[in-house]
């Protein structure tokens, strides 16, 4: 109970946010026998959003979580009763519906792990124990021995850590989903088509669903009210793909208008990732709260899944599989061990994330400028720094 007479609930590990990263982190801890509680501001699972591209490194993380096979296409032989998960393409670049991924992560968690309707309004450290105390909108308070912020681009936990605010690329992006009742016939691969300063990327979800993405410079946005008008978004996307192959124009024309979205593209600069202080006591962040990046490499979701694996592994190594050390040891020992675990997690992730952030940042600058000399300079930098274009997909977050 605090000085105002309000009862404070004490929980060992609290994760803020039941998005992909938050649920993956909770599941990774669960696989290590460590309990956690996920506080989600919404009243139900947030299954909004269209789809998410997951590359080879992300599928390695999903396999460690034990749900990769559930999301893969499966071959079934009726005569031999055999089943086998079959990769869709070399390197296993796939796109899945965001709602499917969220549901599968949640289904493998123990009942009661996720608490809905928990909107965080403030965060401070207990002056006596130095544990974080969360103030909820409904008046409740929660004290956590470990706090992991997976609360996205507008993270309360990142703000508590005094991380630099995310920035806006000089670009917007249209995301869409097109349904082909008779099949689209496209190869199961991520394809980007370029014309002048416009790039259109597409990747199949399955044989009937195609996810596509269209970034363009913010200076070309003529009407600020377009963000809330899906018909205007569709017309603008059609205008941007004028001159592209007919199949791309048809893909945009036939898209499901209800799935269309237009967003500003946000990022955390590579130098902020390099220099950011991602721990305060037993508080840290993961996913977009740590390293929000543009969609140009398709690595945002995969990097968040990697975060979950690495963080759970580091915590288990310090507090024990099953989290037994949290119960047996006193506060000072717990804080020291958790601090060491978070430091190990940050150290392991930082170099990886700086590389991802740097290439994403340069690619965003390249797509967002119309100055040819600057484009050539940026292209040269990308070539020099990232000549191996699939290096990022080769990354292995290791065993859980």
Give the model's confidence band at 395: pLDDT under 50 very low, under 70 low, under 90 confident, else very high. confident
Question: What confidence score (pLDDT) does residue 13 get?
Answer: 97
Give the global pTM. Answer: 0.88
Give the model's confidence band at 86: pLDDT under 50 very low, under 70 low, under 90 confident, else very high. very low
Q: Residue 310 and residue 142: Cα distance in Å, rounded?
A: 25
Question: What confidence score (pLDDT) does residue 70 get?
Answer: 84
Question: What confidence score (pLDDT) does residue 91 get?
Answer: 63
Question: What confidence score (pLDDT) does residue 85 get?
Answer: 45
Indicate the range of 51-65, 81-95, 308-322 predicted with least confidence.
81-95
Q: Residue 37 and residue 21: Cα distance in Å, rounded?
A: 14
∠ CA 158-159-163, rounded to 5°: 65
Q: If 0-12 CB within 10 Å is exposed, 13-18 middle and 19+ buried, where does residue 217 land?
A: middle
| Chain segment 99-109, per-residue pLDDT in tens | 899 999 999 99
Question: What confidence score (pLDDT) does residue 321 get?
Answer: 74
Q: Residue 241 and residue 249: Cα distance in Å, rounded?
A: 6
Question: Is pLDDT of 82 > 60?
Answer: no
Q: Residue 56 and residue 62: Cα distance in Å, rounded?
A: 10
Indicate the range of 37-46, 119-128, 252-261 predicted with least confidence.
252-261
Say which DSSP state 49 is in.
S
N-to-C CA span, the chain: 37
% of the chain surpassing 70 pLDDT? 84
């Amino acid at each position: 109970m605090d000085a105002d007479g309000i009862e404070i609930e004490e929980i060992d590990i609290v994760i803020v946010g039941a998005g992909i990263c938050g649920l993956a982190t909770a599941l990774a801890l669960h696989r290590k026998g460590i309990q956690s509680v996920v506080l989600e501001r919404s009243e139900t699972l947030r299954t909004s959003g269209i789809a998410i591209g997951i590359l080879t490194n992300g599928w390695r993380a999903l396999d460690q979580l034990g749900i990769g096979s559930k999301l893969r296409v499966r071959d079934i032989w009726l005569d031999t009763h055999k089943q086998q998960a079959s990769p869709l393409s070399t390197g296993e670049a796939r796109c899945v519906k965001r709602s499917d991924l969220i549901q599968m992560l949640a289904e493998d968690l123990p009942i009661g792990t996720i608490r809905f309707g928990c909107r965080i309004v403030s965060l401070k450290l207990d002056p006596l124990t130095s544990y974080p105390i969360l103030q909820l909108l409904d008046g409740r308070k929660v004290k956590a021995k470990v706090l992991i912020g997976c609360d996205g681009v507008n993270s309360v936990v990142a703000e508590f850590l005094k991380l630099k605010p995310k920035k806006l690329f000089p670009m917007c992006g249209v995301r869409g989903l097109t349904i082909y009742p008779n099949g689209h016939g496209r190869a199961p691969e991520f394809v980007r088509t370029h014309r002048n300063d416009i790039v259109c990327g597409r990747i199949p979800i399955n044989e009937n669903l195609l996810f596509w993405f269209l970034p363009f410079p913010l200076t070309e946005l003529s009407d600020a009210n377009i963000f809330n008008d899906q018909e205007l978004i569709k017309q603008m996307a059609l205008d941007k793909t004028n001159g592209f192959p007919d199949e791309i124009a048809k893909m945009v024309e036939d898209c499901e208008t209800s799935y269309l979205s237009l967003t500003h593209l946000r990022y955390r600069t590579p130098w902020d990732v390099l220099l950011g202080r991602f721990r305060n006591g037993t508080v840290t962040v993961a996913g977009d709260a740590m390293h929000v990046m543009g969609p140009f490499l398709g690595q945002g979701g995969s990097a968040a899944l990697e975060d979950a694996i690495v963080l759970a592994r580091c915590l288990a190594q310090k507090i024990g599989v099953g989290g037994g050390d949290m119960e047996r040891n006193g506060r000072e020992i717990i804080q020291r061990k958790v601090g060491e675990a978070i430091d190990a997690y940050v150290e392991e992730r930082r170099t990886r994330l700086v590389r991802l952030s740097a290439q994403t940042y340069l690619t965003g600058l390249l797509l967002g400028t119309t100055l040819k000399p600057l484009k050539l300079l940026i292209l040269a930098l990308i070539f020099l720094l990232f000549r191996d274009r699939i290096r990022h997909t080769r990354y292995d977050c290791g065993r859980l």
